[in-house]
Amino acid sequence: MDTQKVIEMLRADMRGEQQAIIQYLAHAYALGEGEVSGGIEAIAREEMRHLDWLADAIVELGGDPDMGREPPDLSAAAPSAQMLKNVDLEQQAIDQYRAHMEAIEDEGIRRLLARIVHDEVSHQKEFQGYAEDLADEGDAAPEGGAGGANPRLAQILNYGVRHEYTVVLQYLYHSFVADDCELREEMQNAAINEMQHMGWLAEELQEKGQQPEFDHHDPFFSRDAVANLEADIAIEEEVTRAYSSQIPQVQEEDIREILSRVRDHEIYHADLFRDLLAEARERQAEAEPPAEAPEESQESEPPDGAPAVPPIGSLIK
């Protein structure tokens, strides 16, 4: 099979993984703290691992990772019904991976997809079990706060969710295409931390009976480490200013504390990225070919006081 066709299949698989991550996290946040929500978040983390593996395979084939997603089902439903949606989504993933395994000849990629299918089959069984348990419990879900979040607080929290979602995608992509091991690891760590932030903010919205807006802005994607880190620093500085201006507007002390903690993490990220940027610039400078020395003139001037050598033409004459 043509390499580009394989890349496109893996890119489609990446979109499915991100769809699953967002759908599962939304369901976990809606359930509040508990054994089931913790289990769902663990499944979402495994889907993130799949996303990483698929991105690595795409980059090795010379392609660009796909940070888009298929549309998740974020509509309201009873908790057991939400779990059955996830059972169906896992079946779609299993069917797609198996079809891709049939079409792809590369044994390494077939082995990777088979490994992912093992996880998806396990996830499907877990969701089926959660659906049965929640139905037996009468589909009880945590009640939202009376009257929901006030409009300004909801706006602030959703601003944070959108920002955190954006940088998760941005930092993951920058880690996927990074040539330097340290840079790759630090960008993945930052992405994991930002996903934590998204969870904290989304859970606050859910507790107040409001659905988080799982949208994002346009991330900055390139293969230039210097340009990527410059964009990462800029977005961290921007959100630090935004959080600093929003915190005094929040009345609830616990949410102010969350926003302050998130803001302080963003300051740390910006400082870390500045160090990584300096290192990336050094690597870039070392990788640039040395400037070519100007060609020396074939004719050289005689030393002071030495007789000039006559040109060949004059000797002939």
Distance CA 287, CA 126 (A): 49
Residue 312 has pLDDT above 80, yes or no: no
Residue 189: what residue type?
N
Q: Residue 300: exposed, middle, or buried by beta-carbon count in 10 A (0-12, 13-18, 19+)? A: exposed
Q: Give Cα separations from 63 to 56, 223, 275 (angstroms).
A: 10, 11, 28
Residue 289 is predicted with a pLDDT of 76
Residue 315 is predicted with a pLDDT of 35
The fraction of the chain above a pLDDT of 70, given in percent, is 88
pLDDT in tens, 154-196: 999 999 999 999 999 999 999 999 999 999 999 999 999 999 9
Mean pLDDT of the chain: 91
Domains of the chain: 1-142 (1.20.1260.10), 145-286 (1.20.1260.10)
Residue 39 has pLDDT above 70, yes or no: yes
Residue 314 is predicted with a pLDDT of 41
Residues 262 and 163 sit within 8 Å (Cβ to Cβ): no
pLDDT in tens, 117-150: 999 999 999 999 999 999 988 876 555 554 566 8
Distance CA 256, CA 233 (A): 24
What's the token pair of residue 35?
């054994």
Q: Give Cα separations from 68 to 94, 147, 212, 264 (angstroms).
A: 19, 34, 19, 29
Which of 316, 223, 311, 237 lies closest to 273, judged by CA? 237
Spell out the residues 6+ positions from residue 44 whose beta carbon is closer than 8 angstroms to its own: 20, 21, 24, 25, 28
